[in-house]
Amino acid sequence: MVTSLFHTRWYHLYAYITGVTPPVKHASSADFIVNAIAEHEAAQVRAKRDWLLAESDWTQLADCPIDEVDRLVWFEYRAELRDVHQQGGFPGVVDWPEIPE
């Protein structure tokens, strides 16, 4: 239950930015702002991660023209990308793995 016009606006801003309706009943506007910013940053990091994974999908295909050593390097790179959200500074500070050559 949103109790004031001010909270209603932050409630809708949070839902607009994150695409998720917040599950809280009574929270301060500061909580909404902090949550909205954190969710937005996390969504941006995940979008970059997903793009980098999609750009490297070709390396894991059976008919890919790279040798097994390079395929393993790419496999490890992709595993590091999938684990980005488990880093201690996520989503504010992300240590992106280096793209193999």
> Is the pLDDT higher at 93 or at 18?
93
Residue pLDDT, tens place only, 57-89: 999 998 989 999 999 999 999 999 999 999 988
Residue pLDDT, tens place only, 25-67: 555 667 777 778 888 899 999 999 999 999 999 999 989 899 9
**92 lies in a domain?**
no
What is the tally of structural domains in the chain? 1
> Is the pLDDT higher at 49 or at 90?
49
Cβ atoms of 32 and 10 within 8 Å: the answer is: yes
**95 lies in a domain?**
no
Most confident of 3-7, 11-15, 70-74: 70-74
**75 lies in a domain?**
yes
Cβ atoms of 26 and 3 within 8 Å: the answer is: yes
In b/e form, how buried is each residue of 11-24, taking b as 16+ CB within 10 angstroms? beebeeebeeebee
Q: Name the residue type at position 15.
A: A
Question: Would you call the peptide bond into 97 cis, given omega within 30 degrees of 0 as the criterion?
Answer: no
**27 lies in a domain?**
yes
Confidence (pLDDT) at 4: 52
**Token digits for 49?**
């991660």
Domain, as residue range, for 13: 5-86
Please say whether the dihedral angle defined by the alpha carbons of residues 54, 56, 60 and 62, taken in this order, is positive or negative. positive
**35 lies in a domain?**
yes
